Amino acid sequence: MSHQRRSLFVPLAGFVIALLLAGSVFAPASLANAASDNGKKSDNSNNNNGNSSGQSGAKDDKNEGKDNDANKKCRLHKYDGKCDFIKPKITISSPDNKGKVTGPSITIQGNANDVDSGIKKVQMSIDGHGWNLVSTTNGDWSVTKNMGLGPHIVQIRAMDNAHNIAAAHVFFKVTK
C-alpha cells in the first residue's frame, strides 16, 4: 500500500516544483511566461499585421510592439525609469589574497560602488556557509569575525538597485 501512495505523490511533487519555479530565474521560459501572463495573450502573440506567414509587418519604430531581448533585459534591470546593465564595482582590500593573517579575530574590508543605480546589498560568505548582509549602501564596508586556524575563503557579492550582480573572493590562511 505504501508503494501506491508513493506513486500518487510523485506527479504531484513535480507539479508543485513547477509552480514554485514559475516566474523565477531558474524556470523555463514557458513556465515563467505562463505564470506572468495570467491567461492573457502576450503583445506579440498575434502581431502579424495580416501577414499569413506569421512574420510581423514593417513598423516605423523597430521596438514598437515587440518584446525583444533588449526590452526584456531592460525590464529586469530598470531602476528609477532607466535601464542599468552595468554591474557594481567590488573590491576586497583586506586580507590579502593568498596571504597569511594572525587570528583568531580577522577583519575583512572592501568597497562596493555603483554609480548608475546605487548598491542594494553587499553579502559575504565565509567558507561557503551561507550569505550574510554586510552593507546596503555605496562605499566602504568592514566586518570582523573570529576564525579558526587554517585556510579560508571569503566570497563577497554586491547587487545594485537594478539587480546587476558582481562578485569577488579572497583566499587566506589564519595563523597564531
Counted domains in the chain:
2
Provide the residue range defining the domain that includes 71.
Answer: 2-43+66-82
* 23 falls within a domain: yes
* 60 falls within a domain: no
pLDDT of residue 75: 75
- The b/e string for 84-116 (b: 16+ C-beta within 10 A; e otherwise) is beebbbbebeebeeeeebebeebebebbbbbeb
Is 134 in the same domain as 104? Answer: yes
User: Residue 36: how many CB atoms within 10 A of its CB?
Assistant: 11
pLDDT, tens only, 20-79: 344 433 333 433 333 334 333 333 333 344 444 444 344 444 444 455 676 777 777 878
Distances (CA, A) of 55 to 20, 44, 50: 34, 11, 9
Tell me, rounded to whole angstroms, the distance of Cα 45 from its chain centroid: 28
* 55 falls within a domain: no
Is 108 in the same domain as 78? Answer: no
DSSP-based three-state secondary structure for 33: helix
Percentage of residues of the chain with pLDDT beyond 70: 61
The CATH number of residue 135's host domain is 2.60.40.10
Which H/E stretch holds residue 171?
Answer: strand 165-175
Is 104 in the same domain as 139? Answer: yes
Is 77 in the same domain as 93? Answer: no
Model's pTM, two decimal places? Answer: 0.59
Q: What angle is formed at CA 70 by the lines to CA 64 and CA 73, rounded to 5 degrees?
A: 125
pLDDT, tens only, 71-117: 777 777 878 888 888 999 999 999 999 999 998 999 999 999 999 99
| Residue 134 one-letter amino acid | V
Whether residue 11 has a cis bond before it, omega within 30° of 0? no
Q: What is the mean pLDDT of the segment spanning 142-164?
A: 96
* 48 falls within a domain: no
pLDDT of residue 22: 42
Is 78 in the same domain as 104? Answer: no
pLDDT of residue 12: 39
Is 119 in the same domain as 147? Answer: yes
Is 93 in the same domain as 167? Answer: yes
* 61 falls within a domain: no
Is 70 in the same domain as 36? Answer: yes
Which alpha helices (DSSP H) does 28-174 contain, by range? 29-37, 69-76
Question: Which residues, 6+ apart, have CB-to-CB distance to 54 below 8 Å?
Answer: 48
Is 97 in the same domain as 168? Answer: yes
